[in-house]
A and B are shown apart, each in its own frame.
Chain A
Amino acid sequence: MRGMIDFFRIICHNKRSLIGLIILIIFILMATVGPFIFKLNMTVDYNNRYLSPSLEHWLGTDFAGRDTFIQLVHGSKEVLLVGLLAAFFTLFVGALLGTLSGLVGGRLDSGIMLITNLFLTIPSFPILIIMAAIFSIRDPVSFALVLSAWSWPGLTRAVRSQIISLKERDFIVICKVMGMSKPHIIFKELMPSITSFLSISFIMTMRGAITGSVGIMMLGLAPYSPTNWGQMLNLAVSQTGGIFNPLGFIYLFSPILCLALFQLGSIFFANGIDEALNPRLRG
């Protein structure tokens, strides 16, 4: 508990990370509570298309007379869920393989590294769109699995190098000499030392997964959610002329602004975590 309070005190101390935290909290509220407050209605109403912002429609309406703001809110649930799941899967596989590879070494290490390098040298975005097409993505879980299939290798490599440098440090060597058990060394000594690194990786992976998912949606390759920001962009660009029709600008720019703000929030917050959990950076 004390640790948590300290953590938040340091976050709040740093202006950047506080801004990041606030942005992230707003998005999390938007994605969790938002859909319950604002009911989505996707019926086409051509009499009310391209309305300007008003009390009834906070961000106006789109090309088919549907409320832009409510679409944005429902889209955020979709986008954040995919990012969160992808980050979980990535972290799990990356941390597991990286730790194994770093600790055990030898044949296992070379094997894992061979596969990791293979995944690293295969261009990720092209294969993502191909996998999106082959597996016909229809739900957030499969989307997240496809996204994480190409984001674990980077993390595996990073965790491995952290573990390798840590296991030669004095305190680990002492633990070994004192005959402490392997699980104790792994979970009580090594893991806490890379928590900071892992939580930053988590946020950055989530950030990357969100960009990737929105990109795939924007290309129209996983059209299962009409309110996903990427799908909104796709419709704004391809269907409605939102790109040259000033009336459609709000519909085009609101997902763009949300995406950029979310990314900015993640970057700022990750900066703060680094400082909060890594005592060497404090000064």
Chain B
Amino acid sequence: MTPVIVLKRIGMAFVTVCLATVMTFVLLRLTPGNAIDAWARDYATQFGITLEEAYRRIAAMINYNPNEPLHEQFVRYISGLLQGNLGVSMVYQQITVNSIIANAMPWTIFVATISLFISFVIGMLLGVRMAWKRNSILEPSVSLFTVITSAIPDFIFAILLLVVFAYGLNWFPVNGAYDPFVTPGFNLDFIVSVLYYAAMPILTFVITNIGGWALMMKGNAVSVLGEDYIIAAKARGISESVIMNRYVMKNAMLPMITMLAITFGSMLGGATLIENIFQYPGIGYFLGEATRTRDYTVMQGIMLFLSVTMIVANLIADLVYSKLDPRIKVEG
């Protein structure tokens, strides 16, 4: 990839970020005006100030004032964003959107990373073995598993796990991110508790993702197996396990690395339903809460944050891919 193309990609990502920003601004504009009116009236009575003054203060808090002309609204919104300020929650007026995201994000990233890693590794091992031994029982069983897991939406799996393992067998907790009686921090009790509470959200993602990875890996591995260098390796008498693990695995994995970044990005946004079912305090849970309570600033802040994350994840996938696999042609 030449520097020009890298710059072009970065430029495209930047344009997309700008468009996404405009889009969240439009969403904010669609907010029913009465939400802010009601807030301003409350605020005015609470602090004994005029309605106008209340509007002015609220506008400063959320980067948005519906009474200003459109271009001034936009300038205010953008300048707030440029200072890294997403405003304050409309429901909990002491809490900033930034702090909500900062508190929620680690949980979502934690669950997404672990489940992505587990499902990727298992899927890869399954896929290679499926390609290697074409007539074993593995192939039909993995296909069946994949059909079932793609037919049943992930949030249904979440409910089923909750019914069976949390309420039925009492093996796992019903909600939360860690035991409220352990002290958060870098100690063994806390770490064990966090893993224990995250087990079911992780399991949900792993179950629904393994099949896809396995089939993708199998497809890649089958085409790698037909390559000359594999036949040459066999002819040289290199042992099966070395061919499978070193040659096939490595080369079949390459195209999937870029999918990792994209899947990671989409998992952050796709966690909404699952986090709500397990009441796991990640970004999706707060998005659901904000939507239920019509907390428009929080909704819009989380949305913008997730979009930028996705755009960056896609950019990284794009750039990494060509680095990893020199064979692919890069379109300008």
Contacts and interface: CB of A to CB of B under 8 A. Distances in A.
A134 B30 contact: yes
A260 B148 CA distance: 8
A260 B159 CA distance: 13
A118 B273 CA distance: 23
A164 to B, nearest CB: 12
B45 interface: no
Contact of B276 (A123, A131, A219, A264): A219
8 contacts: A121-B311, A122-B20, A129-B291, A219-B291, A221-B291, A243-B163, A244-B167, A256-B156
A133 B28 CA distance: 12
Given A125-B270, A233-B159, A244-B167, A117 B16 contact: yes
Contact of A243 (B159, B284, B288): B159
Given A122-B310, A126-B269, 16 more contacts: A117-B12, A117-B16, A123-B306, A123-B310, A124-B269, A129-B272, A130-B300, A130-B303, A133-B299, A134-B30, A221-B291, A237-B159, A243-B163, A256-B156, A260-B156, A263-B153
A82 interface: no
Interface string B257-288: 00000000110111011001100000010011
Interface in B151-193: 151-153, 155-156, 159-160, 162-163, 167-168
A218 interface: yes
A127 interface: yes
Contacts of B294: 133
A243 B272 contact: no
Interface residues of A, number: 36
Nearest to B22: A118
B85 interface: no
B198 to A, nearest CB: 20
A237 B27 contact: no
A259 B157 CA distance: 12
Contact of B155 (A118, A215, A220, A221): A215
B302 interface: yes
> At the interface, is chain B mostly helix, strand, loop or mixed?
helix
A14 interface: no
A131 B299 CA distance: 10
A114 B27 contact: no
Contact of A215 (B12, B31, B153): B153
Interface residues of B, number: 48
A267 interface: yes
Interface in A132-152: 132-135
A24 to B, nearest CB: 13
Interface of B: 12, 15-16, 19-20, 23, 27, 30-32, 147-148, 150-153, 155-156, 159-160, 162-163, 167-168, 265-266, 268-270, 272-273, 276-277, 284, 287-288, 291-292, 294, 299-300, 302-303, 306-307, 310-311, 314
A85 interface: no
Contact of A134 (B31, B160, B306): B31
A28 B291 CA distance: 33
Contact of A123 (B168, B270, B300): B270
A134 B300 CA distance: 11
A80 interface: no
Interface string A189-214: 00000000000000000000001001
Interface in A237-266: 237, 243-244, 249, 252, 256, 259-260, 263-264
Interface in A106-128: 114, 117-118, 121-127
B307 A123 contact: yes
A244 B166 CA distance: 9
Contacts of B159: 233, 237, 243, 252, 256
B287 A126 contact: yes
A132 B148 CA distance: 29
A114 B15 contact: yes
Given A129-B288, A215-B273, A264-B147, A123 B266 contact: yes
A215 B151 CA distance: 14
B172 to A, nearest CB: 13
Contacts of B31: 134
Nearest to A118: B19
Contacts of A135: 30
A126 B163 contact: no
Nearest to B162: A243
Of the listed residues B159, B162, B307, the one surrounded by the most CB atoms of chain A closer than 10 A to its CB is B159
A122 B167 CA distance: 36
A259 B266 contact: no
A118 B22 CA distance: 11
A281 B148 CA distance: 23
Contact of B167 (A211, A218, A220, A243): A243
Given A219-B273, A243-B159, A211 B153 contact: yes
A114 B148 CA distance: 35
